Structure 1
Amino acid sequence: MREMALACVFGASAATDAYLVAYTVPNVIFTVLGGALTVTAVPLFASYVSAGKKDEAWRLFAVFSTLLSAVLLAVVLAGVPLARQIVWLVAQGLPEGTARLAAALLAVMLPGVLFLSLGNLFYGLLNANNIFGPPALGPVVTNVFIIAFILAGLRFGIVAVSVGTLLGNIAAMVLQLPYLRRAGFPFRPVLELHHPGLKQAFGLMFPVMIGTGIGCPGG
């Protein structure tokens, strides 16, 4: 439905091409990094809980979320000023004007990879605690924001869609927070690089990252 709304408002235009290129980059980063961590972290959490170590399971998840936030924040801080170069790498055939627009849209949307990845991690954690409603609703909230801002694009242009995409990712993540608190998640940063569960997760992550990287566009 989101694609239909985008096509109806902007059609097959340079603005649409620029948005789709800019939209692809955060989603590739999320798929390779955030998605891979979720695939490995959630089963580890469940294994700790089944072994009667629920407090340690929460601590492990706090380590995961802290490390993921730090890595993705570094990616965002490095990526935003390099948005034009990133666009050139992923879409070398774009006309110069479209590429400049894509770079501007990417600079707006790239911070969304942090919220998208954390939201996905939180979805997995809530599901592991038998809480299914908010994780299922998160992507719906994101799409509602994007569609609403596509309509706002009739007046404000394609930049509005990029803003809506970022806000949608933020809203979907924020929606999970009250339910995480009720489930017992400790909302404090824990950077414990020598945690045995983190080492185990890294051992499982790399094959997943390689597999998802190969499957990504341009991978």
Structure 2
Amino acid sequence: MTAPSGNRLLRSSATVAVGTALSRISGLVRTAVIVYALGTTALAEAFNLANNTPNMLYDLVLGGILAATLVPVVVEHMDRDDQDGIDALATVITVVLAAMTLLAMVAAPWIIRAYSITTDPADAERQAEVAVPLLVMFLPQMFFYGLTTLGTALLNARRSFAVPAFAPVLNNVVVICLFLALPRFAGGDQPTFDQVRDDTGLLLLLGLGTTAGIVAMTVVLWPAMRHAGIKLRWRFELRNPAVRQVVRLSAWTLGYVLANQVAFFTVIVLANGVDGVTAYTVAYMFFQLPYGLWAVSVMVAFTPEMAGAAVRGEMAALRARFTYGLRLVLVLLLPAAAGLTLLAGPVVTVALERGALDAESGDTIAGTLAAFSAGLPFFAAYLYAMRGFYALRDTRTPFWINLGQNALNVVLAIAFVGPFGVEGLAASFSVAYAVFAVVALVALQRRIGPWFDRRTLVGIARLVGATAALVAVIVAVQAVLGHGVVAGLASGALGTLAYGLVLWALRAEELQAVTNRLRGRRLAPADDQSPPTPPTSPPG
């Protein structure tokens, strides 16, 4: 297989970036529409409890492993024209997915019961009347999640990126249409828990309609696979080298994923005990938006560069790329974190407070979002540091760091949920990532050498100073105009302008990188010899 040209790589990167942005934005719209239809009622708690489970179980059993190992293994065997290996890998994955899905569907009542160990028994029994049948209808999503991951890996190995990048948008569109239509099927009003429990047609529409979005996301990949010349045959061979290679590579990754899912399950159980599953889920979706829109694209651009430097043994180049990438991650996530923390209330009011969501529930979501957002830069720095270890082919160190982070998250969640409710669960998440972001960065420095040099220190100091200006402007405007929606919009806009002007006045090279990205240019990693040109004009 020939290597793709530079122009083709740039086009592919742009395609993935656009697809990711549309997926995140449409996912946010989907969340807003679900909140519009269900609010934070008992029905919403049952729905979100069941709807979170297929993704969690898939990641726990197979998803995390495939995400970390499938693409490099598929690329290797495609480059060797090993069609038998590809067929065996696809067949075994399909069989495991089907078995896993059937077992989970049988276990659905016990899964819901496990979520309710901190809930009043009478409330738990009532919740199960809707949550269990919904979960049975949602669990086939696991099978289609796996097929989507497999199809995406095969297409990416053939350098076909467009359809996999945009496929999640189709899922979001299907779910958005479903929940916009749901009140009409419920008699013109937002459906209630009792109404869905007693109306089999409404229950089936809610359950199977949501799963239909995942099916659509999967099915749309099939024509693209045929167009790319991908033809699979049934070959169930557990001892095939491709299958054994995935199993061998997955050991530490499985531990990493297991720790994440155990911590997530614990937090959801605690959230269910304080009727906070919906607030936690919705706030986390908002929290993830700036990370997904910006930080992910930076990490995708810099990881191959760091890996290449590591393979060549060029630690100085690896450090330069890592530090520049870290500053690019922070250049937008620092102001995003400050803005969302201070303006969570107006954001939730504008985006969500309509339909079934009342002001009190909106305040709970806003408080949870603010607690999440305070940890956004640490969350991104932590995951970026993990990329540094993976560039060194080190999966063991991330496992141990991740184990510590999740353990701290669980301990703090148990301590915080009593006095602070669901907001305390978000705060425990932020504190745990803040502590272990520092641990990860220090541990990485021991592997690659001192990366926290003067250039990095000055760059981060500029970003912190500009963020302080943003905070000062937001606080000042709110002191004059109050804390309503208009004041929030005005203070956010003026704070963002102040942030950009301070970076321009300080001639921050990171600002030039952002403007280049917005103009569709590549995020070129810096090296020690040729730093990016500082901006020469104010941000437009």
Q: Same fold by TM (over 0.5)? A: yes
Q: Considering only CA atoms, is the larger Rg found in Structure 1 or Structure 2?
A: 2
Which whole-Å CA distance do the structure 2 matches of 1:206 and 1:91 have between them?
Answer: 31
1:168 matched to 2:213: yes
1:107-186, aligned counterparts within 5 Å?
A: 107-154=136-183, 155-156=185-186, 157=191, 159=203, 160-186=205-231
Q: Counterpart of 1:145 in structure 2: which amino acid?
A: V
Specify which of 83, 88, 93 is matched with residue 63 of structure 1: 88
Which runs of no fewer than 5 residues in structure 1 stay unpaired?
none
Aligned-partner Cα distance in 2 for 1:84–1:71 = 22
1:19 aligns with 2:64: no
8 Å contact from structure 1 (residues 112, 166) kept in 2? yes
Q: Separation in 1 of the partners of 2:90 and 2:207?
A: 25
**Paired letter, 2:150:** L
Does structure 2 retain, via aligned residues, the 8 Å contact 1:146–1:168?
Answer: yes
Distance 2:117 2:229 in 1: 47
Which one of the candidate residues 62, 71, 76 is aligned to 1:42? 71
- Aligned residue type for 2:174: F
Q: Which one of 24, 30, 41 corresponds to residue 2 of structure 1?
A: 30
Distance change (3 Å), C-alpha of 1:104 and 1:44: same
Shift of the 62–91 alpha-carbon distance from structure 1 to 2, 3 Å rule, reads farther
**Alignment check: 8 A CA contact 2:77 2:242 kept:** no
2:265 counterpart of 1:218: yes
State the shift of 1:39 in Å.
2.3
Shift of 1:100: 2.3
- 1:59/1:39 CA distance change after superposition, 3 Å: farther
Q: Deviations over 1:103-124 (max 9, x none)?
A: 1100001011101111122112
Alignment correspondent of 2:316: none
Give the alignment of 1:85-96 within 5 angstroms: 85-94=110-119, 95=123, 96=125
Q: Which has the higher contact order (CA 8 A, sep 6+)?
A: 1
State the TM-score, normalizing by the size of structure 1. Answer: 0.90
In 2, the alpha carbon distance for the partners of 1:206 and 1:90 equals: 27
Gaps of 5+ in 2: 1-28, 197-202, 267-540
Once the two structures are overlaid, the 10-residue window that deviates more, 184-193 or 138-147, is 184-193
Is contact 1:73–1:114 with CA below 8 Å preserved after alignment?
yes
The separation in 2 between residues aligned to 1:139 and 1:3, in whole angstroms, is 14
The alignment partner of 1:131 has SS state of coil
Percentage of matched positions with identical amino acids: 28
Amino acid corresponding to residue 162 of structure 1 in structure 2: G
> Do 1:21 and 1:91's aligned partners in 2 also have CA atoms closer than 8 Å?
no
Amino acid at match of 1:118: L
Query: Cα offset for 1:81?
Result: 2.8
| Alpha-carbon shift at residue 76 of structure 1 (Å) | 2.1
- Does structure 2 retain, via aligned residues, the 8 Å contact 1:41–1:61? no
Cα 1:179/1:146, change in 2 over 3 Å = same
Quick check: 2:89–2:242 contact (8 Å CA) kept in 1? no
Aligned equivalents of 1:63, 1:29: Cα separation in 2:
23
> Retained in 1: the 8 A contact 2:85–2:241?
no
Distance in 1 (CA, whole Å) between partners of 2:116 and 2:161 is 38
- Take 1:48 and 1:120, find their aligned partners in 2: how far apart are those partners? 17
Amino acid at match of 1:7: V
Structure 1 partner of 2:132: 103
Give 1:192 deviation, angstroms: 1.0
